[in-house]
Chain A
Amino acid sequence: MNIVVCAKQIPDPAEPGALDPQTKTLKRDGKLILDESDMYGVEMALQLAEAAGGGEVTLVSMAPDNKVDGLRSGLAMGAAKAVLVSDPALAGTDALGTAKVLAAAIGKVDGAQLVLTATESSDGYTGTVPEQIAAILGMPSITFAKSIEVRDGTVYVKRQTDAGYDEVECPLPCVVSVTAGVVEPRYPSFKGIMAAKSKPLDQLTLADTGVDAGSVGWGGGGQEIVGIEDAPAREAGEIFEDDGSGVDKIVAYLENLKIV
């Protein structure tokens, strides 16, 4: 079974991030690493391919400046190959434009039966790209998978919900977004790291994808970031005096937050 994993390369969250006051977007000119939330998808894909008795795991990514460091991490984990779309014309592309580009790149992977994504990226957090990719590819979309099995051309997903989980079945091909609970990602091995540099990494331009240049980039989104501000400072918490009703108040507070 051939599986595609969408793998975003993001600025290292451990480094202080910076917003570009001109474009009002995150600066992405330094080193990019594999988004930790995508490591779950890579690991799940590797385990599913192994369970299926074979098949290739392909990483698909869109990133500025032909950055490949994050993809090398995924290849070192065990993915067979990667496809990177990088083009100056893609700067400023919004979530829908990104989905168009990724969908086009996925279309170039032979025999892709399952597409795995994170539920959302750790830098952008729109959480919309997986469903947009599914819609563009005309595939069913299942979100928030906390476990995935594939048997006889059908994917069986436990889908995390606020109350528990739904059991969902869906015929392949389809797009599944995975939560951080789905599997524990492996650390790349040194053998994997050394093998990664010789694995195929196709680099595509926007023209190679066939996506209309007018629907991507700064102008393609039909949206504008009008302002950026620092997050408001955290305010002091709420204090309940325990006059005998403290427990009830705390439970009600937590219920309001849907924590209990």
Chain B
Amino acid sequence: MSASQPNQFGTGDPHDFLDLDGLLNDEELLGRDTVRRFVTDRIVPDVGTWFEQGTFPVEMATDLGAMGLLGMHLEGYGCSGASAVAYGLACTELEAGDSGARSFVSVQGSLAMFPIWAFGSEEQKQQWLPAMAAGEVIGCFGLTEPDSGSDPGSMRTTARRDGDDWVINGAKMWITNGSVANIAIVWARDAADETGRTIHGFIVPTDTPGFAAHDIPRKMSLRASVTSELVLTDVRLPDAARLPGVSTMRGPLSCLNEARFGILFGAMGAARACYEAALDYAGSRTQFGTPIAAFQLTQRKLVEMMVRVNRGMLLALHLGRLKDAGQLSSAQVSFGKLDNVREALWVAREARGVLGANGITLEYPVIRHMNNLESVFTYEGTNEIHTLVLGQAITGINAFNAPGT
């Protein structure tokens, strides 16, 4: 069938094929469009350069704060109190710009502000949350360690009681915003509990003596984002720096659950950007005397990308509605993180192929997203861990420990 024949099967909007906009109310659309405009104006023009240079403009934090994007789904203390869907849509738009920008917002809101909001004392909330919502104070989240990734319960960082104070020793690894943060939420085992089950969270001002952050060099992914190692050497803090509301792994894991929710929306933003770049390229790139979009092989790629982007957004919106209704389980979040990130990575790789040699340059967004998504695939629960979460959820059998261990 040539392009000049009438379209006998109907047309569709290549940018919103399933009319998912129809599932959003006016307020959600305005919020989504506002973040999209910000990303188009302020992130897209320069992000290739940031990626190349390995930097993120931290001064953008106050702009993100002014829009209410930091801790935006939290209530009170200067936070926006927006819905989960609104937060998710903002993550989608930020990550359509770059996973680094979305990571910045995820870490600040879901990993640094959320534990203070959920487990902090009233004094801690009033001291930190308004300034963090405004982007004047930047936070990071220290759970993962050099030898403790998927199994955070094996962490070696300890907090030892010394009089009225706590003394923290250990190291944290792969910490987004680590070296630019003003405070770090650090999770540590209580040295007095030999079972290792007592886990405290501390608000550690990064100028506390004994605290050091070193950036991790030579990354090939999330380059427009700061990733650091935190080293804590006899860091002495008053008990008022401890989050009083939690003393088990439930604390950090609930934070990760919040962050994963943003990721399952965000990954589809990156996927959408790749699909749209491929669609645009395929329509204008001519080979053998015809746009490559006319080839069946290319059409299959474009359609597979389009189907995955629409399906992933539909899943994200469904999970967002469940979260707003207070009915979202952490296993369902695992479903979204598992499936949407792997599909986003698939879309990015496929788009890279459609762009041919141009797909490997930073002139197009595709390889940047593709490389970023390798990190997103791993952090906040690897694909394997979320598979085991879902495996346990449907079989009732815990497979986290290898047989015989």
Q: Taking beta carbons and an 8 Å cutoff, which residues of A are in contact with B? A: 33, 69, 72-73, 76, 186-194, 196-197
Can you give 20 A-B contacts (C-beta < 8 A)? A33-B33, A72-B26, A72-B30, A76-B30, A186-B66, A187-B34, A187-B63, A187-B66, A188-B34, A188-B67, A189-B66, A190-B31, A190-B80, A190-B82, A191-B81, A193-B31, A193-B34, A194-B27, A196-B27, A197-B26
Report whether A187 and B27 are in contact in the complex, using a CB–CB cutoff of 8 Å: no
Residues of B close to A193: CB separation below 8 A: 27, 30-31, 34
Q: How far is the CA of A51 from the CA of B80 in the complex (A)?
A: 25
Whole-angstrom distance between the alpha carbons of A194 and B34 in the complex? Answer: 13
**In this assembly, does B152 line the interface, its C-beta being within 8 Å of a C-beta of chain A?**
no
Given contacts A73-B30, A189-B80, A190-B31, 19 further A-B pairs with CB under 8 A are: A69-B30, A72-B26, A72-B30, A76-B30, A186-B66, A187-B34, A187-B63, A188-B67, A190-B67, A190-B68, A190-B69, A190-B72, A190-B80, A190-B82, A190-B90, A191-B68, A191-B80, A194-B82, A197-B26
- Shortest C-beta distance, B130 to chain A (Å), equals 13
Interface of B, secondary structure class, is helix
Residues of A contacting B66 in the complex (Cβ-Cβ under 8 angstroms): 186-187, 189
| Bound form: Cα–Cα A73–B367 in Å | 34
Are A69 and B67 closer than 8 Å at their CB atoms? no
Question: B402: shortest Cβ distance to chain A, in Å?
Answer: 45
Cβ of B86 under 8 Å from chain A? yes
Asked if A187 meets B81 with Cβ closer than 8 Å, knowing A69-B26, A72-B26, A72-B30, the reply is no
Q: B residues bordering A, Cβ < 8 Å?
A: 26-27, 30-31, 33-34, 37-38, 63, 66-69, 72, 80-82, 86, 90
The reply to whether A187 and B38 contact each other, CB–CB distance below 8 Å, is: yes
Residues in A whose Cβ lies below 8 Å from that of B69: 190
What residues of B have a CB within 8 angstroms of the CB of A72 in the complex? 26, 30
Ranked 5 nearest A-B pairs via Cβ: A190-B68, A190-B80, A189-B68, A190-B82, A193-B31
Determine how close the nearest CB of chain A comes to the CB of B100; give it in whole angstroms: 19
Question: Do residues B26 and A190 form an inter-chain contact, with CB atoms below 8 A?
Answer: no
Instruction: List, in ascending order, chain A residues with CB within 8 A of B27's CB.
Output: 193-194, 196-197
Q: Give the distance in Å from the alpha carbon of A76 to the alpha carbon of B69 in the complex.
A: 15
Closest chain B residue, CB of each to CB of A36: B37
- Name the B residues within 8 Å of A192 (CB-CB): 68
Q: Which residues of B contact A186 (CB under 8 A)?
A: 66
> How far is it, in angstroms, between the C-alpha of A72 and the C-alpha of B37 when the chains are bound?
16
Q: A69-B30, A72-B30, A76-B30 are in contact. Are A190 and B37 (CB under 8 A)?
A: no
Alpha-carbon distance A197/B38, docked complex (angstroms): 21
A254, chain B: closest CB distance, angstroms: 27
* In the complex, residue of chain A having the shortest beta-carbon distance to the beta carbon of B80: A190
A197, B26: Cα distance in complex, Å: 9
Instruction: Please indicate the chain B residues that have their CB under 8 angstroms from the CB of A189 in the complex.
Output: 66-68, 80
CB distance from A79 to the nearest CB of B (A): 14
Which of B26, B69, B86, B90: most chain A CB closer than 10 A? Answer: B26
Report how far A168 CA is from B222 CA in the complex, Å.
51
Contact of A194 among B33, B37, B67, B80 (CB under 8 A): B80
Cα A192 to Cα B37 with chains together (Å): 16
Which residue of B30, B63, B81, B86 contacts A188 across the interface (Cβ within 8 Å)?
Answer: B30
Residue of A nearest to B86 (CB): A190
Query: Which of B27, B38, B81: most chain A Cβ within 10 A?
Result: B27
Question: What distance in Å separates the Cβ of B15 from its nearest Cβ neighbour in chain A?
Answer: 10
Q: How far is the CB of B65 from chain A (nearest CB, A)?
A: 9
Identify the interface centre among A76, A190, A192, A196: most chain B CB within 10 Å of its CB.
Answer: A190
CA distance A190 to B33 in the complex (A): 11
Specify the chain A residue showing the minimal Cβ separation from B64.
Answer: A187
The smallest beta-carbon distance between A3 and chain B, in angstroms, is 22
Contacts of B34 in A (CB 8 A): 73, 76, 187-188, 193
Shortest distance between the CB of B134 and any CB in chain A (Å): 11
Task: Using CB atoms, name the residue of chain B closest to A192.
Answer: B68
Asked if B80 and A187 make an inter-chain contact with CB atoms under 8 angstroms apart, the answer reads no
Residues of B near A190 (CB, < 8 A) are 31, 67-69, 72, 80, 82, 86, 90
CA distance A70 to B373 in the complex (A): 35
Chain A residue contacts of B68, Cβ below 8 A: 189-192
| A-chain residues with CB within 8 Å of residue B33 when the two chains form the complex | 33
Chain A residues lying within 8 Å of B82, measured Cβ to Cβ, are: 190, 194
Q: CA of A213 to CA of B172 in the docked complex: distance in angstroms?
A: 73
A32–B62 Cα distance when bound, in Å, is: 30
Q: In the docked arrangement, what's the CA distance between A187 and B33, Å?
A: 10
Chain B residue with the shortest CB-CB distance to A188: B34
